[in-house]
Amino acid sequence: MLQPWLPVAPDSDFSIHNLPFGIFSDDRPARAGVAIGNWVVDLATAYGLNMFPHYPEAGNAFRKPVLNELVALGRSFSDYVRKIIQTALCDRESVLHQYSDHLLIPQKKVQMHMPLKVGNYTDFYSSEEHAFSVGQIFRPENPLFPNWKHLPVAYHGRASSIVVSGTPIPRPRGQIGQADGTPAFKPTHALDYELELAWVIGKDSAVGQSVPVAEAEDYIFGLLLFNDWSARDIQRWEYQPLGPFTSKNFASGVSPWIVTWEALQPFRVPAPLQQPQPLPYLAHHPRQNFDLSLSVGVRPGHREEFLVCQTNARDIYWTAAQQIAHHTVTGCNMQIGDLLATGTISGKNITQKGCLLEATLNGTQPVKLGENIERRFLEDDDEVIMRGFGQNVNVRVGFGELRGKVLPALL
């Protein structure tokens, strides 16, 4: 076991085995950092002290206000940076220890920013439990459409409105269908969250060329927590025949720290058996997911947080490799900084449902938020808090928190 000289709590998401990348600022401009315990390692300052001599081109990447240039240097580079920092954290003679006052900044003193410039964002529908539960609500006689077990269903979302944790979300307004079949324009009364993960694409592919499923994981730099905010009543009116649009394009949230692909490898587990077998371009062995514990809490107003969901990413039906292979099969190219989200991650039990649409059966059975408080959908001043981590004996790797507070609709 690696034993850092820096005190890190055993239950910290940001253990020495993690070291995720993010963008932060203090009294100086936004730049790249790595999280360890309650601190941020200032990578730009560390570069100036010659901590990363094998990558002279890294200096510019560390000073940029987004991580795209750093991600473009590849997983071998990010792994190199993590190993340099891991070694330094275990050596009291290291530059990191000698200059700790300059290199280690308390997280409570920094502002976190969007980690990436996201060019494209695609949201999949990869959890069978979620797809089946939603289908049961609206089509009890036919919960899964015939195509669902043959391909990873998805829609292209809006990249420009992806925001970092802590960004408040004004209640969206839009067209909402009424009982007489005509629309009314008003604020949504069915605002929802969706608990997801997002793969960060770390390598470009060429237009017109598909990515083979066996090579698809090579294109993933790391993962984020993802909240696909959704206005369900707007969605019901607009989604036929082309799918969601304004009901989801107003905001999506991401956690500020990108957990690298390498840091997550201790949590690989077999993916669920697929029946029927997919077409050859989607078939790969072994199919693997990640054993990651995920949760959602809701904090109503100024009251305490109440846990509304505990689930796991291990049972996602369509894997990351299959998502990328299908996304590119017609020649669509991947670009560095693209996000591919999993869709809502849910389990079988009501306490494992990753959105209120499922947990409340479309608002018919409210969830309890402590004594005398219940929710069918989110109300103004509610704060949604998502968390996720992997735990393997003494190795813990987590994402931190993804927070978003609902504000009243703008006039």
List, for residues 208-225, the tens digit of each pLDDT value.
999 999 999 999 999 999
**Which pLDDT value is given to residue 127?**
98
Candidates 163, 169, 199, 152; CA nearest to 329 is 152
Residues 6 or more apart whose Cβ sits within 8 Å of residue 107: 35, 38, 39, 40
Give the residue numbers spanning the domain of 43.
21-113
Indicate whether 185 belongs to any domain.
Answer: yes
Would you place residue 2 in the very low, low, confident or very high pLDDT band (cuts 50, 70, 90)?
Answer: confident
**For residue 106, cis peptide bond before it (omega within 30 degrees of 0):** no
Same domain, 238 and 92: no
The pTM (predicted TM-score) of the whole model is: 0.97
Average pLDDT on 296-303 reads: 95
**Which pLDDT value is given to residue 106?**
98
Average pLDDT on 198-214 reads: 98
Indicate whether 52 belongs to any domain.
Answer: yes
Indicate whether 334 belongs to any domain.
Answer: yes
Would you place residue 289 in the very low, low, confident or very high pLDDT band (cuts 50, 70, 90)?
Answer: very high
Same domain, 148 and 268: yes
Indicate whether 11 belongs to any domain.
Answer: no
Same domain, 69 and 218: no
Same domain, 223 and 291: yes
Separation of alpha carbons 284 and 242, rounded Å: 30
**Which pLDDT value is given to residue 370?**
87
Same domain, 205 and 265: yes
Residue 258, strand partner residues: 21
Secondary structure letter of residue 14 according to DSSP:
B
Would you place residue 252 in the very low, low, confident or very high pLDDT band (cuts 50, 70, 90)?
Answer: very high
SS3 282: helix
Separation of alpha carbons 343 and 131, rounded Å: 9
Same domain, 127 and 209: yes
**Tokens for 162?**
């992806």
Judge residue 378's burial from the number of C-beta atoms within 10 Å of its C-beta, 0-12 exposed, 13-18 middle, 19 or more buried. Answer: buried
Candidates 120, 99, 81, 111; CA nearest to 339 is 120
Separation of alpha carbons 183 and 110, rounded Å: 45
pLDDT digits (tens, 9 = 90+) for 188-197: 999 999 999 9
Number of H helices and E strands in the chain, helices first, is 10, 26
Question: Are the CB atoms for 220 and 202 separated by under 8 Å?
Answer: yes
Residues serving a catalytic function are 130
**Which pLDDT value is given to residue 237?**
97
Same domain, 149 and 28: no
Same domain, 30 and 126: no
Same domain, 88 and 143: no
Same domain, 179 and 322: yes
Percent of the chain scoring above 70 in pLDDT: 100
Separation of alpha carbons 323 and 124, rounded Å: 8
Quote the number of domains for the chain.
Answer: 2
Same domain, 109 and 127: no
Average pLDDT on 346-356 reads: 97
Same domain, 347 and 225: yes
Residues 6 or more apart whose Cβ sits within 8 Å of residue 126: 152, 316, 317, 318, 319, 323, 342, 343
Strands (E) in 14-101, as ranges, are: 21-25, 31-36, 39-42
Separation of alpha carbons 106 and 39, rounded Å: 4
Residues counted in the chain? 411
Cα of first residue to Cα of last residue in the chain, in angstroms, is 56
Burial 257-286 (b: 16+ CB within 10 A, else e): bbbbbbbbebbeeebeebeeebeeebebee
